[in-house]
């Protein structure tokens, strides 16, 4: 017999060794946790902010139609008009527009304020006469014990729905915006961000609030979430009538980005790598000599003495304070790369090891990574390690005037095939590793905040649900220089925004295998640069070829990473320079508009890059557009992602009249048009009534 406790603004069901806890969490949202252990873990909120102290819910027993033969016979009427009777051990909990029902068998379903089903557990194990009565013995919830432990392999299944569309989940290298039919790995990798929040066209948002390694399958017949090792089921769901309402509800329970500083909304210059202080300052001076706008310049990795020292090599960077002073006078912010790798010869290695501040192997030696030396990784899930890393970086960077950090390799970079052998302060890597980038960002956010800094931002190569509240500016990783890759990044950026990560960017021109002297790469870079003008952050970066250093370099026995070819806006030919310069100044002129977009992201969690349906949810066609998006409420952006073309087909959402920026021509919405797109033009369409835009 199941036992329900419906007190204290929550619904708790116990039957056998299983416990289900459902609580109100934020606006129109509920948090669901299930375990087979003796006690539910209610101490760890993972991606969620703590439960609001004013959380309110209506919790009640519910009346249902008869669900077995005995009740049907006593009711005397087996039809749809059968009288409602009290069904033993069934209950419901309502928070705003969302209601969860737990029936007598323990199955959970969710409905909105109109009584419409949003989502229900996968049911193929019923013996009553309900519509789900089939004797397949397939349950929705499987917590399968790992022998001798209190850990489980988890399988959680929900029903699939015809015509449902799903968006978000972070960043995956795919062409499709709608994730229905996709199988996604729930693991962090270079160029893959697992941030498991989705928005459904059925009117709900769903957060898989579990940092364990696993996967999710959005099949036609079932939606199935798995974790290779975990303690319990934990997810959050909300109801909303529009995608914007769902996104805002999610931001309410996981946090929003800080307000982006106005002096970071323009152009960022970067390459792999500026090797010396003189080289970097020379680039900034040339920008200023040419009268070009520049908000930030980035010092990439291997500026340090050794991995894990987190300090400048004084040979190449002799006077960081003077460098920062000159940059500040020029109005340019400096961003410095910090990696999580620690060479065993690093001056900080002994203290990190002694205090248990390193990720460790359960079996075998100490090393957890091999990158340019014998290295291991610091444990961002350890609060003591976070304090230690910030203390070192404060001394060697912040105290020299550097307030912006690039947290690279934040997955972190180890062999995912061996992840079952790794252990963090908070437990096995299989159970925790997806949250590593969140805690990496938190270390620097907390450190900067303690110094009185506001509007904090860190460029970071990965993120998890909730990373946004720690100022995470994610980017799409070390992608290949090709039009195919560019096409994938458009989708990746839109879905990252829908997953609650509104600060997103790419390496303009991409990272790998770009040759600045080659015409085919120059065409790609020009197209990408124009698109970069309409990303949340506009940043030129890449590992350009050929390298200036033909042979490996060593200093004091430490291998030094080489220096790539030129990657400045004047490096790709005079004709192309004029095009790039046009978009540099266009970005500057867009700053007042971008300020408003960043304010909305900060206050409500609104994506900066929005799918068309975000602004036009009543247009069915808008839900199927993968490679065009809204940059804020008024600008429709259609990047050109093919070589050798001068036009692009663009869908314009219904219910609006659109002005084509390059021609001034007006178009009615609800149709496909052929946009003007020579090399110097990115197709842009503006709402006819929009005012104050420089396009």
Catalytic residues: 408, 411, 478
Distances (CA, A) of 390 to 299, 377, 398, 602, 614: 18, 15, 9, 25, 39
Residue 429 per-residue DSSP state: H
CA-to-CA distance for 123 and 132, rounded, in angstroms? 6
Six-digit token pair at 530? 């124009």
**Range 486-512 burial, b when 16+ CB lie within 10 A, else e:** bbbbbbbbbbbbbbbbbbbbbbbbbbb
DSSP track, 58-70: EEEEEEE---SHH
DSSP track, 287-308: HHHTT----EEEE-SS-BSSTT
- Residue 344 region by backbone torsions, left for phi larger than 0, else alpha for psi between -120 and 50, else beta: alpha
Q: Is 261 strand, coil or helix? A: coil
In this structure, are residues 169 and 195 in contact, taking their beta carbons and an 8 Å threshold? yes
In this structure, are residues 407 and 440 in contact, taking their beta carbons and an 8 Å threshold? yes
Distances (CA, A) of 503 to 116, 408, 610, 677: 34, 16, 12, 27
DSSP track, 460-497: ES---TTGGGGTEEEE--S-BSSHHHHHHHHHHHHHHH
Separation of CA 605 from chain center: 13
CA-to-CA distance for 234 and 435, rounded, in angstroms? 15
Closest CA to 238 of 248, 230, 228: 248
Alpha helices in 605-676, H assignment, sequence order: 612-615
- Beta strands across the sheet bearing 58-64: 58-64, 85-95, 98-102, 108-111, 117-120
Residue 204 CB: number of other CB atoms within 10 A?
23
CA-to-CA distance for 171 and 612, rounded, in angstroms? 18
Six-digit token pair at 386? 């976070």
In this structure, are residues 674 and 692 in contact, taking their beta carbons and an 8 Å threshold? no
CA-to-CA distance for 622 and 22, rounded, in angstroms? 35
Six-digit token pair at 168? 């978000």
């Amino acid at each position: 017999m199941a036992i329900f406790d419906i007190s204290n603004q929550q619904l708790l069901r116990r039957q056998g060794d299983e416990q289900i806890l459902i609580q109100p969490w934020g606006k129109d949202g509920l948090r669901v946790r299930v375990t087979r252990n003796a006690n539910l873990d209610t101490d760890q909120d993972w991606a969620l902010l703590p439960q609001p102290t004013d959380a309110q819910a209506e919790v009640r027993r519910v009346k249902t139609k008869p669900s077995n033969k005995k009740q049907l016979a006593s009711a005397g009427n087996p039809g749809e008009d059968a009288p409602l009777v009290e069904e033993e051990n069934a209950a419901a909990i309502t928070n705003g527009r969302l209601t969860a029902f737990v029936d007598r068998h323990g199955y959970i379903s969710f409905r909105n304020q109109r009584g419409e089903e949003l989502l229900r557990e996968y049911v193929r194990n019923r013996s009553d006469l309900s519509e789900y009565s089939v004797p397949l013995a397939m349950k929705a919830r499987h917590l399968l014990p790992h022998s001798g432990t209190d850990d489980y392999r988890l399988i959680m299944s929900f029903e699939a729905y015809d015509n449902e569309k799903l968006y978000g989940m972070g960043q995956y290298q795919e062409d499709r915006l709608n994730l229905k039919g996709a199988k996604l790995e729930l693991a962090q990798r270079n160029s893959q961000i697992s941030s498991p929040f989705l928005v459904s066209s059925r009117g709900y948002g769903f957060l898989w609030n579990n940092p364990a390694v696993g996967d999710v399958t959005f099949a036609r017949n079932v939606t199935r979430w798995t974790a290779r090792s975990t303690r319990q089921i934990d997810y959050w769901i909300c109801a909303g009538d529009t995608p914007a309402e769902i996104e805002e509800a999610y931001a309410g329970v996981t946090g929003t980005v800080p307000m982006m500083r106005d002096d970071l909304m323009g152009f960022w210059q970067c390459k792999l790598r500026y090797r010396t202080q003189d080289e970097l300052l020379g680039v900034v001076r040339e920008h200023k000599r040419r009268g070009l706008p520049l908000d930030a310049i980035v010092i990439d990795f291997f500026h340090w003495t050794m991995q894990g020292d987190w300090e400048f090599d004084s040979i190449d960077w002799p006077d960081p304070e003077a460098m920062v002073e000159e940059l500040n006078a020029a109005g340019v912010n400096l961003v410095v790369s910090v990696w999580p790798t620690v060479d065993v010869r690093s001056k900080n290695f002994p203290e990190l090891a002694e205090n248990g501040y390193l990720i460790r192997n359960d079996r075998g030696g100490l090393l957890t990574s091999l990158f340019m030396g014998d290295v291991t990784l610091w444990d961002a899930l350890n609060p003591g390690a976070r304090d230690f890393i910030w203390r070192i970086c404060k001394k060697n960077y912040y105290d020299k005037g550097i307030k912006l950090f690039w947290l690279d390799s934040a997955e972190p970079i180890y062999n995912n095939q061996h992840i079952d052998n790794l252990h963090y302060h908070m437990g096995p890597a299989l159970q925790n590793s997806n949250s590593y980038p969140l805690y990496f960002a938190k270390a620097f956010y907390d450190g900067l905040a303690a110094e009185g800094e506001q509007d904090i931002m860190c460029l970071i190569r990965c993120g998890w649900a909730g990373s946004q509240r720690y100022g995470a500016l994610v980017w799409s990783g070390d992608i290949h220089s090709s039009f195919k890759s560019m096409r994938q990044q458009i989708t990746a950026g839109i879905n990252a925004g829908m997953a609650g990560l509104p600060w997103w960017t790419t390496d303009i021109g991409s990272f790998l295998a770009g040759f600045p002297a080659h015409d085919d790469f120059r065409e790609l870079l020009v197209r990408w640069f124009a698109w970069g003008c309409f990303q949340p952050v506009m940043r030129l970066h890449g590992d350009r070829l050929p390298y200036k250093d033909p042979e490996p370099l060593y200093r004091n026995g430490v291998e030094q990473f080489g220096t790539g070819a030129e990657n400045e806006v004047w490096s790709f030919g005079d004709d192309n320079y004029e095009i790039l310069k046009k978009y540099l100044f266009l970005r500057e002129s867009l700053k007042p508009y971008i300020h408003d977009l960043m304010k909305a992201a900060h206050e409500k969690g609104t994506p900066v890059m929005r799918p068309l349906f975000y602004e036009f949810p009543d247009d069915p066609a808008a839900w199927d557009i993968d490679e065009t998006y809204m940059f804020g409420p008024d600008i429709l952006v259609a990047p050109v992602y093919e070589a050798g073309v001068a036009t692009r087909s663009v869908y314009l959402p219904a219910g609006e009249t659109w002005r084509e920026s390059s021609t001034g021509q007006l178009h009615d919405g609800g149709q496909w048009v052929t946009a003007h797109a020579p090399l110097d033009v990115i197709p842009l369409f503006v709402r006819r009534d929009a005012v104050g835009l420089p396009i």
